[in-house]
Amino acid sequence: MKTKFLLLLMALIVCKLYASDGNEKNDSISRVYTLGEVSVSALKTSSQFQQVDMQQLQQFNRDDLASALKLLPGLNITTIGGRNEAMLYLRGFDLRQVPIYADGVPIYVPYDGYIDLSRFTTYDLSKITVSKGFTSILYGSNTLGGAINLISRKPVDKFEIGGESGIKLSNQGINGYHSALSIGSKFDKFYFLGNISLLKKNFMSLSDDFVKRKGENGGRRNHSESKDFKTNLKLGYTPNATDEYSINYIVQHAEKGIPTYCGLNTATSSYKYWEYPDWDKSSLYFISKTKLSSSTYVKANAFYDKYYNKLNAWDDSTYTTMNKKSSFISIYDDYTAGGSAELSTDYFTNNTLRFAIHEKYDVHNEHNEGAINKHFADNTLSIGAEDSYRLSSRLNAIAGISYNTRSSVKADSVVTSTSNIQFTTSSSNNFNYQLGLVYNLASDQQITLSASRKSRFPTLKDRYSYKMGTAIPNPALKAEYSWNFELNYAATLTDKLQVEAAVFLNKLQDAIQSVTIGTNLTQMQNTGKATFKGFELQAGWAPVKAINAGISYSFIDRKNNSNPSILFTDVPKNKVFVYTQLNLPDADGYLQISGEYNSERISTSDGKYKAPSYLLLHAKLHASLFKPLALEFLVNNILDKNYAVVEGYPEEGRTFQFLLKYKF
């Protein structure tokens, strides 16, 4: 009881602080760290339908990357239950095919190409931009299905201090709390910004409608606790109006439990007793932009990322012994280093021409505690060019081409006490190309028609994993690729109505699939063909000053052309998000109601296990007590819906949140 009281007291005392000029929208735009942006000049990169900005992150209280991306159509968040990792699908493509970038710097675990989206808090972000299908060559390789860029903030005033704190409760007690603090300054030619955040989850509360099953009794979800600590520092120098140089340093530490499976499949193999006592990441990167002439600039970055995690696999639900063959302590100690350079020029009439080169060196080290380390290394190089050509005052053409190559540097197959036996090294290369036509019906209406061929190199895990004795590695595995077609319409029809619609078709070729090659043996091979097609709609409406609302809908159909009996998993065919906000008169306050609907999701490729459709409702009240103090109260999952995005891994029931905010 004493602990709960102290946590509640902390939430009431630690306020949300951030500098503001009274206009949150303008504040959100001005704080964008433009060095971290990757954009195509002819496209409407500021479209609210392809990004989540700082204002929306605060409006919908999206504290981590996974919850933030749920706001956009075409994006579906799922989980890898056995590792308790949040993953995404963008128009059917997963994180290996849709890489995540931080200020234009690629971030993913070198071994398998994934990253846990729940481990990335959003308190230090100015916006998140999403490229779907037609993705700039300037991102580099592996953008088969798109790209997602996390753009950090930068200070705008001589002195800024900001942060927030909140507490989450349910009928099970205090679920957790979070706190964040930001201090920055912009003076003369220099700026700095420091951020620190802590997101603590004591447990996840299950719905009262949850039915007790093997692996879970209900109430407080077993082993659902987590802690995420993140700190970063940004130092910048702007010698003049056009040039900028910046160093960024980020440290993340996480600990997380892994809830046990509690679904309909009661086979013994379904139950694992795992936990991550350490999930750590640190990043150091430098970004610069230098004007060479009135029409030409060069932009460059260099980065070093380090990943460390420890996985404990226990014998049983007591989490005390490791005597079984299936029990172990696994340690990954990886790093990646690289850089890129971009040259952009408007020297030629009606052209914006850009050249880019990217290099990335990935190293994976793994061992079970007490065993010898295994080493793997890859080097990836991408060279590309992109041209935006103004055919007329209304019509632009965007063409791009890139050459990508991946070389295996080192890969240990078997490790003995005296030597390491290595796989034969291999390499793979390919060309990517794309063409888009952008027609401006008016200054605020745009139609885009695009076609692109994009690729994705197989990961180290794809090529070299034995999968605990159930697979044969394939070092010669080549890249998979996809033809992506899209027709998009975006418009601000009036100052009260914004709309966007898109129709897409993706044809996946040489897809990397697991193929059965013997009794209880599989191998990753380039054998798959698939078709992903669908459409997306979104609108924002503000009929009067007191009301604003929004709705988005996405539909996707995925077909496995190679083997129709093997079904695609984890993506609902239909997804809807809707909200309405009533702004209180003569007060800095509002009442917001939002809802989200997802149709059923297939959880296993044979279609036997599914996560049913669900509808969730949420409410939020933001009230200004007196300037500059405000209070927020949230109710999430109002109906206490018992739901899951993956069968056997139920999500959170009804919870309440309290936030005390301060604007200076």
Site of tokens 């993956």: 646
Number of domains in the chain: 1
- pLDDT tens track for 403-440: 999 999 999 987 665 567 788 888 999 999 999 999 99
Rounded Cα distance, 180 and 164, in Å: 5
Give the tens place of pLDDT for each residue, 257-311.
Answer: 999 999 998 887 778 999 999 999 999 999 999 999 999 999 999 999 999 999 9
Better pLDDT: 50 or 433: 433
**What's the pLDDT band for 15 if we cut at 50, 70, 90?**
very low
Report the candidate in 75, 80, 33 with the shortest Cα–Cα distance to residue 53: 33
Band (9; pLDDT cuts 50, 70, 90): very low
Instruction: Judge whether 222 and 233 are in contact, CB under 8 Å.
Output: no
Alpha-carbon 392 to chain mean position = 37
Dist. CA 59–CA 661, nearest whole Å: 13
Task: Give the tens place of pLDDT for each residue, 529-553.
Answer: 999 999 999 999 999 889 999 999 9
Confidence of residue 11 (pLDDT cuts 50, 70, 90): very low
- Mean pLDDT score of the chain, rounded to an integer? 90
pLDDT at 19 over 70: no
Output b/e per residue, 392-412; b: 16+ Cβ within 10 A. Answer: eeeebebebbbebbbebeebb
Asked whether the predicted pLDDT for residue 17 surpasses 80, the reply is no
- CATH number of the domain within which 600 lies: 2.40.170.20
Question: Which range of residues forms the domain containing residue 375?
Answer: 2-663
User: What digits encode the pLDDT tens for the residues 589-623?
Assistant: 899 999 999 999 999 999 999 999 999 999 999 98
Burial 124-161 (b: 16+ CB within 10 A, else e): bbbbbbbbbbbbbbbbbbbbbbbbbbbbbbbbeeeebe
With vertex at residue 52, the alpha carbon angle to CA 224 and CA 595, rounded to the nearest 5 degrees, is 60
pLDDT at 175 over 80: yes
Query: Percent of the chain, pLDDT > 90?
Result: 76
553-602 tens-digit pLDDT: 999 999 999 989 889 999 999 999 999 999 987 667 899 999 999 999 99
